[in-house]
């Protein structure tokens, strides 16, 4: 059961390679959002099947150049960023 409808919204989720970040990314995807998921780990299997609305970026958020690149691309490719988690 989906309680919230995030269709047409875009979220960037840090730490999406596992734990809380992965759970947040899955909840947003299940609620209709598109998600740019970021982690230093590889993409978890649980995020398979969402390829039309999911971009997974493997990288380190302490690297300013990586952050600038991925956040810029996320905004351009998905028409902006509505949420950060």
- Is 19 inside any structural domain? yes
pLDDT digits (tens, 9 = 90+) for 21-71: 999 999 999 999 999 999 999 999 999 999 999 999 999 999 999 999 999
Asked whether residue 50 is assigned to any structural domain, the reply reads yes
The predicted model gives 3-20 an average pLDDT of 96
Range of the domain at 75: 10-84
What's the domain count of the chain?
1
Query: Residue 2 falls within a domain, yes or no?
Result: no
How many other CB atoms are there within 10 angstroms of residue 12's CB atom?
22
**Total residue length of the chain:** 85
Q: Please answer whether residues 74 and 55 qualify as being in contact, where contact means their C-beta atoms are separated by less than 8 angstroms.
A: yes
Residue 44 is given by DSSP the state P
* CA–CA separation, 18 and 4 (whole Å): 23
Give the per-residue pLDDT at 2.
62
User: Which phi and psi (to 5°) does residue 2 adopt?
Assistant: -95, 120
61 domain residue, yes or no: yes
What local confidence, expressed as pLDDT, does residue 47 receive?
95
Q: Find the CATH number of the domain harbouring 65.
A: 3.40.50.720
Residue 3 lies in a domain: no
Whether 39 maps to a domain, the answer reads yes
| 5 within domain boundaries | no
First to last CA, the chain: 22
pLDDT for 1 beyond 70 = no
């Amino acid at each position: 059961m989906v309680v919230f409808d995030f269709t047409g919204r875009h979220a960037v989720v840090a730490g999406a390679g596992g734990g809380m970040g992965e759970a947040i990314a899955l909840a947003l995807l299940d609620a209709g959002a598109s998600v740019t998921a970021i982690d230093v780990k590889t993409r978890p299997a649980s995020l398979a099947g969402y390829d039309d609305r999911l971009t997974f970026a493997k990288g380190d958020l302490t690297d300013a150049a990586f952050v600038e690149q991925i956040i810029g691309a996320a905004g351009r490719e998905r028409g902006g960023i509505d949420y950060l988690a």
